[in-house]
Amino acid sequence: MNKITYFPGCSAHGTSEEFDHTLKLVMKTLDVQMEEIPDWNCCGATSAHVMTENLAIALPMRNLVLAEKLENKTMGIACASCYSRMKVTKKHLDENPNLAKKINSTIIDEGEYHGTIDVKSMLQYCFEEIGLETIKSKVTKSLAGLKVACYYGCLLTRPKDVTHFDSPEYPMSMDLLMEALGAKAVDFDYKTECCGASFSISNTEVVESLSGKILEVAKESGAHVIVVACPLCQSNLDMRQPDIEKHTKTKINIPVMYFTQLMALAFGFPEKELKLPKHIVPVEEALKNIGKIEPEPEKIKKTKKAVEAESEVV
C-alpha cells in the first residue's frame, strides 16, 4: 500500500467532481491511499499571482506547510493549475530561503516550511511512480477501438525548469497511459497549446478562439474523445463547445474526458461511476467505439515486437 498526500483543489468539489471521484476509484484499485490535506485552501490560482506578490506565495505555501505535516513523500495534485502554483511556489521558496523565512514568519501561522515534500500532478504520479506495467495489469476491459487525443494544456509540463516532467512541446506520458489501457492515442499537434485558461469567465472571446482551434485540430486527428488532466481545460473545451459550434457554424461534438474516467472504465468500473451526465458534450456515443476493434492479444504483440526488434538489428 502506497500513501500520498492529496490536494484536490477547489474545482474537485464543483466543476470537476467526476475527476475527483474517478481518481479516488482508480487510486484504490492501484492500492494507493490518498490522504487529503485537512483544511486546505485555494492555491490562489491565476488571480493571486497576477494581482499580488505575497499572497501568490503565501496561499500555496500554507498548503505546502500543511502537506508536509502528513509526512508522506509525495503530494499529488489533481488540478493542473493548482499543481503549477504549488510547484512554482516550491521552486521560489527552495531557491530563496530568505523569501521562505519572510513569508513564513509574517503571514503563515500553521508552522515552518521545510521543503521536504515532492509535488507531483496525478498524471505524473501515475506515470512515474505507479508505472505503466502496473496500470496495464489492472485493466479488465480494454479500451481498444477508442481513439483519443491527449490534451495536456500548458501547466502540466511547462515551464520545464519548474515541472521537470515530460516534454513541454510534445509530451507523451498521457498518450502512453491511454495506450496501456488499450486505446489508440492519435497524433495531436495541439496537445500543449493554451485553451484560454483563466479567461474562462472574464474574456470568453479569447477562450472560444483558442479552445476552438484545439477542438478543430483534435477533430481532424480522428479522435473520438479528448482526454485531459486539468479541470479548467476540461471546462473550457467542454462547456464552451456549444458556443464555439454556434460561432464557427461547424459541428464539432467531441467529448472531453478526464484520463481517470477512462482508467476507471478500463479497470472495470461501470459507466455510471464516471458521472457522465456532468458532461455538456455527451460522451456515450463516443464510448460505443470501444470493442469495435478487438484488443490485440498480448502474445501476438510480443512476437510482433520481437520480430521488429530483430529487423532493427539487421
Partner 1 sequence: MITLGLQEKNTFLEAVNKKSGANVLECYQCGKCVSTCPVSGYMDFPPREVMQMIKLGLKEETYMANSMWFCLTCSACSGRCPREIDIPAVMEGIRHLAIEENYHSQDKKVKEITRFHEIFLDMIKRYGRNYELRMMAEFNIRTRNLFKDMHLAPKALLKGKITLGHESTKSAKAIQKMYKLAEKLEKNK
The residues binding partner 1 (CB under 8 A) are: 10-11, 13-15, 17, 39-42, 44-55, 58-59, 62, 102, 106-110, 154-155, 158-160, 168-169, 192-194, 196-199, 201-204, 206, 210, 235, 239, 243, 275, 277-280
Which of 98/106 has CB closer to partner 1?
106
Of 259, 284, 235, nearest to 23 (Cα)? 259
- The torsion angles phi and psi of 56, rounded to 5 degrees, stand at -55, -30
Report, in this order, helix, strand and coil percent for the chain, each rounded to 5: 55, 10, 35
| Neighbouring-strand partners of residue 256 | 226
Q: Nearest distance from residue 101's CB to partner 1, in Å?
A: 13
**Residue 158: CB minimum distance to partner 1, A:** 4
- Give the separation between CA 51 and CA 84, rounded to whole angstroms: 17
Burial of residue 104, with CB atoms counted within 10 A of its CB: 0-12 exposed, 13-18 middle, 19 or more buried: buried
Smallest gap from Cβ 119 to partner 1, in A, equals 17
- Could you tell me the smallest distance in angstroms from the CB atom of residue 229 to partner 1? 16
Q: Which helix (H) or strand (E) holds 98?
A: helix 97-106
Q: Which three cell numbers stand for residue 131?
A: 508505472
Cα–Cα dist 220/227, whole Å: 15
Minimum CB distance to partner 1, residue 1 (Å): 28
Q: How far is the CB of 190 from partner 1 (least distance, A)?
A: 10
41: which strand partners? Answer: none
Do 225 and 255 contact (CB within 8 A), yes or no? yes
Cα–Cα distances in Å, from 50 out to 54, 86, 303?
Answer: 11, 15, 54
Indicate the residue among 142 and 200 with the shorter CB distance to partner 1.
200
**At its nearest, how many Å lie between partner 1 and the CB of residue 55?**
5
Closest CA to 16 of 160, 162, 166, 122: 122
| Beta carbon nearer to partner 1, 144 or 217 | 217
Comparing CB distances to partner 1, the nearer of 24 and 240 is: 240
In the complex with partner 1, the residue whose CB is nearer, 160 or 288, is 160
**What's the closest the beta carbon of residue 266 comes to partner 1, in angstroms?**
24
φ, ψ dihedrals at 255, nearest 5°: -70, 155
Q: 179 vs 243, which CB is nearer to partner 1?
A: 243
249: left (phi over 0), alpha (psi -120 to 50) or beta: left
Q: Which three cell numbers stand for residue 269?
A: 468500473
Q: Which is nearer to partner 1, 160 or 305 (CB)?
A: 160
